[in-house]
Amino acid sequence: MFDITFCGFLLLLSTFHNVVEASTYHVEIKSTAPAVIGARINFTAELYQDGKIAPRRQYNFRWSDSAFPKHTQSVETEEPFSNFSVIYDKSKYPARTYEMRVDVDRYFVGFYVNVAVGSLLFDINPLLSGNLTLTQNGKERPNDFVAIKVPTNQTITLSPSDAEFIRNATQITTYWFRNCTYLGPTAGLSSLNSYDKENESYELEALVEVSFEKIEPTTTAPPPTTTTTTKSTSAAPVTSPSPAPTPTSVPTTAAPAAKSSDEKNSNTVTTISPKSEGSGRRKREAETNSTIAVKTDVKTTVKPKPIEKEISASGEEIEVKQSAFNTTDKPIIETTTVSRSIDENFRNHPGSCLNFSDFYHDPNKTYGYFRREFKAIMPVNNVTITGGGWLQYGELLHLQVKCLGTKPFKYCIKIFEGPYNTTGNEKCTATVDLDPCEFTFQHLFQLSTTKTIAIIIENDYNKVVSQIAVNFYKAKKQSQLSVIVVPVSFSLVAVILVVFGVAYYIQNKNRYIIEVADFNFGDSQSVDMEYKTFQARLLDSIREVIPWPRRHVDNETAESHSGDDSSIKYGSMT
């Protein structure tokens, strides 16, 4: 029977193992770390199966870290995720790197089988974690460049765990430095500044001090019932009787120090100076002493805290309690160490760079140090575009672009079909370097449709997108002027020449006088001239001008002139 049961168990285990092997499980861990020591860190584990969130089943998430003593937790759930929160107390755990581990088991037929294991390294820091952000015009600067002459909001953004940790703080003070020059304190984590020098580099540092000491109302007893007595060996204040069970810090009548604008949000404390009773030497010694910051709040705790005593330079014994941070210009005493306030220390060394180890650290407070380098430049502005508008089809587009700002510049041009409204989010796939900010753009469009040209100019600070619309029109085709003018001109010239030729001919013809000579040399000559035609006489004249031997003579002519004088000839007619 036992063998059958054991065999069945092995069969079930083998079946479950095959199911698990067929599916791939893995677990992912996320956290709110890094965090300052003492802050709460939240961890979240998510189980994945075959690359997707695992289905709802019975799981067991077993948490454990590498700290000593360990933090462990086991969570049974039907959801494929689990949460775990841990606080590392500064009195037990040092600030260092820790590891959080989670083992995920899946329930199967009466028992759990491990399906996934995950781990995560995280840091516990002695200082607050976060970033120093710069904001201009409501937008956080994505790089290390700011615009000149624009208000800049300098804010310290803490990690989620640290932001949650200081939420219950009673006082937060930030001390600001710029290029190793102390600017002063502000209440909170932000300040406002402006940078006016172009191409100037800056190094901004910030020291954050967070106090969790409880601030209770400050009470001052009436003057007739409250006195302060100073002795050579002690300075125990004497007051009117008060209820026995209530241990109090003594109410005193002392003029509080004047508060500056930065101190309005600080704790209310009163400073007490030793009274000047006695010799003038004691009075001068008391005035040269550091004043003591003493809380005048009334606490209702059953068991009073031990009273600490300090001996002043004049030999007086004074009761002192630890005070919250005071931003007055007078030195204060914290715990058992006489130390100047942080603000006073920085003001006495305005030209020194911030060194965290140079001033006193209150172990009951939390600090943070943040630093950022950036440069102030002029943004791209005053972009002017000349050209564009309406173009005749086939005409070359010519644009002249100019702008102002701090170099180097880059630009690109995008062409959109039809009307288009730029959003400012247009990006360049390829840019052209530009120095100075002035360039010419020429383009010939093949199609005569409306175009929108987006001109993108950017430098290290910003990007400006300008647009211009280009419209086309077609002109009516007309014959060229030369086609009409040239033929008409030549025709007129021909007509004029003909007219002048005819007129000249008529004028010259009128000048000719035709004279006909009628010589009567005899009847025979008259008879000869009667039967000769004009062509015959012209032929005879030509023969007379160009002499050649006559080979043939008309018989009739020879017979008619056989008895005439051979010397008779006709002259040429003109």
Model pLDDT for residues 248-282, shown as the tens digit of each residue: 333 333 333 333 333 333 333 333 333 333 333 33
Per-residue pLDDT of 417-451, as tens digits, reads 989 999 989 988 899 999 899 999 999 888 778 89
570: confidence class by pLDDT, cuts 50, 70, 90: very low
Picking from 119, 141, 163, the residue at the C-terminal end of a domain is: 119
Q: Is 157 exposed, middle or buried (0-12, 13-18, 19+ CB in 10 A)?
A: middle
With 90 as the cut, is the pLDDT of residue 158 above it? yes
Compute, in degrees rounded to 10, the torsion defined by CA atoms 281, 285, 291, 292: -90
CB atoms under 10 Å from CB of 139, counted, come to 9
In this structure, what CATH number is given to the domain that contains residue 53?
2.60.40.1940
Residue 14 lies in a domain: no
pLDDT number for residue 294: 30
Q: 338 - beta bridge partners?
A: 333
Q: 531-559 burial by CB neighbour count: b if 16+ within 10 A, else e? A: eeeeeeeeeeeeeeeeeeeeeeeeeeeee
Same domain, 88 and 72: yes
Task: Calculate mean pLDDT across residues 50-75.
Answer: 94
17: confidence class by pLDDT, cuts 50, 70, 90: low
Q: 441 - beta bridge partners?
A: 399
CB 101 within 8 A of CB 82: no
DSSP string for residues in 311-365: E-TTS-EEEE-------SSS-EEETTEEE--HHHHHHH-TTSPP-GGGS---TTE
With 70 as the cut, is the pLDDT of residue 32 above it? yes
Task: Calculate mean pLDDT across residues 115-141.
Answer: 95
Same domain, 429 and 390: yes
Closest CA to 422 of 387, 461, 457: 457
- SS3 call for 486: helix
The mean pLDDT value of the chain amounts to: 74
Residue 334 lies in a domain: no
Query: What token pair was written down for 474?
Result: 């077609």
Look at the chain and report how many structural domains it folds into.
5
290: confidence class by pLDDT, cuts 50, 70, 90: very low
- Which region among 291-300, 351-360, 528-537 has the lowest average model confidence (pLDDT)? 291-300
β strands within 378-460, DSSP E: 381-387, 389-392, 397-404, 409-417, 432-434, 438-443, 451-458
Residue 512 lies in a domain: no
Per-residue pLDDT of 479-518, as tens digits, reads 666 777 888 888 999 999 998 888 888 878 766 656 666 6
In this structure, what CATH number is given to the domain that contains residue 371?
2.60.40.10
CA–CA dist 341, 333 (Å, integer): 8
Same domain, 369 and 396: no
Residue showing tokens 């189980």: 47
Residues of the chain above pLDDT 90, percent: 45
Same domain, 373 and 386: no
Same domain, 167 and 195: yes
Q: Is 440 exposed, middle or buried (0-12, 13-18, 19+ CB in 10 A)?
A: exposed
R_g of the chain, CA atoms, integer Å: 58
The listed range with the strongest mean pLDDT (109-123, 343-357, 476-490) is 109-123
Q: 301 - beta bridge partners?
A: none
Per-residue pLDDT of 173-225, as tens digits, reads 999 999 988 898 999 999 999 999 999 999 999 999 999 988 776 555 555 55
Same domain, 370 and 388: no
pLDDT number for residue 486: 84
pLDDT number for residue 280: 37
Same domain, 110 and 33: yes
- SS3 call for 110: coil
With 60 as the cut, is the pLDDT of residue 307 above it? no
**111-125 and 35-36 as β-strands: parallel, antiparallel, unpaired?**
parallel
Task: Calculate mean pLDDT across residues 84-94.
Answer: 94
In this structure, what CATH number is given to the domain that contains residue 413?
2.60.40.2470
Residue 53 — φ and ψ, nearest 5°?
Answer: -60, 130
468: confidence class by pLDDT, cuts 50, 70, 90: very high
Same domain, 174 and 308: no
Same domain, 391 and 348: no
**Domain carrying residue 449:** 382-473
pLDDT number for residue 534: 80
59: confidence class by pLDDT, cuts 50, 70, 90: very high
Per-residue pLDDT of 384-418, as tens digits, reads 999 888 888 888 899 999 999 999 999 999 999 98
Query: What token pair was written down for 472?
Result: 């086309």
Q: Is 511 exposed, middle or buried (0-12, 13-18, 19+ CB in 10 A)?
A: exposed
With 60 as the cut, is the pLDDT of residue 228 above it? no
Residue 419 lies in a domain: yes
Picking from 119, 137, 152, the residue at the C-terminal end of a domain is: 119
CA distances from 297 to 137, 234, 271, 274 (A): 43, 22, 13, 20
Q: 186-205 burial by CB neighbour count: b if 16+ within 10 A, else e? A: bbebebeeebeeeeeebebb
Q: What is the DSSP-derived secondary structure letter of residue 430?
A: S
Residue 511 — φ and ψ, nearest 5°?
Answer: -80, -25
